[in-house]
Amino acid sequence: MKRKNYPLHIAIIMDGNGRWAKKKGKSRVLGHKEGVKAVYRSVKFALINNIKVLTLYAFSNENWLRSPLEVSNLMILFEEILKKDSLILNKYNIKLKILGNKKKLNSTLQNQIKISESLTSENNGLRLNIAINYGGRQDILSGLKKIMHQILSRKLNLNDIKEDSFASFLSTKNLPPVDLLIRTGGNIRISNFLLWEIAYSELYFTKVFWPDFDQVSFSDAINQFKLRKRNFGK
C-alpha cells in the first residue's frame, strides 16, 4: 500500500553525540554509546511506521581526521553492535547493508559486515543501510571509475550511460531516491553524505542532539515532510 505524502526512503545524518556528551560532562565516547540507543529507537520507529528504507550516516570519510582514540572506539562500537544484534535484525526481517568503502576498515569489522549482510540478505522487510567510511564524492568517483573500466573493456557503451545506469554504480544502487533527509545536532550542512541521491530530497534540520532523538522528534520530521509540496521542477 502506497501512503500518500509518506516518505519511502529516509536518510539521517546522526550528528551531535559529542556536544550531547559535553553538555552532560561526559566523554565523547559515551556520547556515541548513547547515540546507539537512538539508532535502536529509530529502527523501531521505522518498523512500526512501515518505512521501507532507512539510511544512517555513522562515519564519514573525513571522520578519520578525529583523534585515534575516538576513531578506534567508534570502530569497536560498530563491530560490537553488528555482532550483538544481527540476529535480532534478522528476526525482524530487516535487510542490512553497509554503504561506503569497506577496504579501509579493519579485517575483523569487514568480516562481521559480511556475516551480518549475508545473514539478512534474503529479508524483504525494512532496508537498513548504515554508511561507514562513506563519502558522497568518493562514492560518485568510485562509481565513475567502475564505469570507465567497463567502457575501456567494451562491456559498456558511453552513450548507454544514463542517470539510472549511472546510479547503479553507486553504493546506493537498487534503493529508491531519498525522500527525506534529516540532520540532527543543529548544523545546516550535508557533510559529504549522499550527494547524487538527495537531488530532490526534502531536507529537515533539527537542533536536537542525536542521543536525544526519539519517536517524537522522528514524528515531527515526518509531519513536516507531509506538509511539503514537492514539485520536482514541474
Catalytic residues: 15, 63
Taking the complex as a whole, the smallest distance from the CB of residue 232 to ligand IPE amounts, in Å, to: 27
- The reply on whether position 59 binds Mg ion by CB under 5 A is no
- H or E stretch at 119: helix 107-120
- The reply on whether position 63 binds ligand IPE by CB under 6 A is yes
- The reply on whether position 15 binds Mg ion by CB under 5 A is yes
Residue 180 three-state SS: strand
Task: Give dist(CA 56, CA 78) in Å, integer.
Answer: 13
- The reply on whether position 138 binds ligand IPE by CB under 6 A is no
Q: Cβ neighbours of residue 10 under 8 Å, at least 6 residues apart?
A: 46, 51, 53, 54, 55, 178, 179, 180, 181, 182, 221
- The reply on whether position 139 binds ligand IPE by CB under 6 A is no
Closest by CA to 106, choosing from 54, 64, 56, is 64
Encoded one letter per residue, x for contact with ligand IPE by CB under 6 A and - for no contact, window 12-31 reads -xxxxxxx------------
- The reply on whether position 181 binds ligand IPE by CB under 6 A is no
The stretch among 44-52, 143-151, 174-182, 185-193 that binds ligand IPE (CB under 6 A) is: 185-193
- The reply on whether position 21 binds Mg ion by CB under 5 A is no
63 binds, among Mg ion, ligand IPE, none (CB under 5 to 8 A by kind): ligand IPE
Count of C-beta atoms within a 10 Å radius of residue 91: 11
- The reply on whether position 179 binds ligand IPE by CB under 6 A is no
As beta bridge partners, residue 59 has 132
- The reply on whether position 187 binds ligand IPE by CB under 6 A is yes
Contact 112, 79 (CB under 8 A): yes
For ligand IPE, the binding residues in 33-62 under the rule CB under 6 A are 57-60
Beta strands in 111-224 (DSSP E): 127-134, 180-183, 202-205
Binding site for ligand IPE (CB under 6 A): 13-19, 57-60, 63, 74, 185, 187, 189, 191
Binding site for Mg ion (CB under 5 A): 15
